[in-house]
Amino acid sequence: MTLLKKLQWSFGLLLFFFVLPVIAGQLPFNKQASTPIKEPEDKQVVFAATNLPEQSVLEQTKEQTQEKTQVQTKDPFKVLLLFTHSQESYQPMVKAVSGKAAYYDEKTNIYNLKDTISKHFSKNGIQTDILDVDVMKELKLKGKSFPDSYNFVRPYLAKRLQEQSYDLVIDLHRDSAKRDATTLTHNNESYARIAIVIGAEHKNYRWNTAYAESLSAAMNEIVPKISRGVISKSGDNVDGRYNQDLTKEMILIELGGIDNTEEELNRSIAVIGKAIAKSFITEKQD
């Protein structure tokens, strides 16, 4: 065999082994093995994007936006004020207006403090609604007497509570006690002291008491001894419920007494607003 034939034979042999796998891949019995495997169409490819600075900033911004939205969408703390004894008055205030000494007055009375109370409450993030009924005026028009007050205002209050919900309901009164019992001095300023009354003859008694004790403690943290405490009433010659059976969030506040001045009342109203925020609003947001 010549050298040329040997080279031709060797080249042919190499070509045969090179072409053979290609031919074999086209044969029917090996078709499945030669078909590429496709990834499922719904398979997601996850990249480690959270390790990138840009992604971290984006996630932080989203979280901050969500937190701000949650804060903005929180319902405000809502308080309903009513004045069952609407014409209870303070002698110094009546005397300054009319020159007479009176404990009840049609014009200068606790009911007229509603705007002042609303302003102080608003400063503490409290939304205030007023049950706008001059109860004692309506009693006189209908020929009813002072002891009928709670029963008279009850349907008005019940209707409002059916229409709207409140975080706290306060029935505001003026105590009949004299100045030495209803006044204190703190940091060279005088305040009208506050008592909270709870009727003990109804199903909500323990709930109402818990609200009252929490508020009383908060007020005393702001101005020591401004609260005279929580007074439970039951038995003969008292109402025993004060309409507090209508909602567990209801309390009765005695704001000062017959001898307290407007300045003393204003300071104490400010304390009540701060105490509500301290005792209930912070707790609600948490």
* 133-178 residue pLDDT tens: 999 999 999 999 999 999 999 999 999 999 999 999 999 999 999 9
CA distances to 10, 175, 206, 256 from 185, rounded to whole Å, are: 119, 18, 32, 13
pLDDT at site 212 = 97
Global pTM value: 0.74
pLDDT > 80? residue 59: no
pLDDT > 50? residue 45: no
> For 6-22, what is the mean pLDDT?
56
Q: How many CB atoms lie within 10 A of CB 134?
A: 16
pLDDT-above-90 percentage for the chain: 70
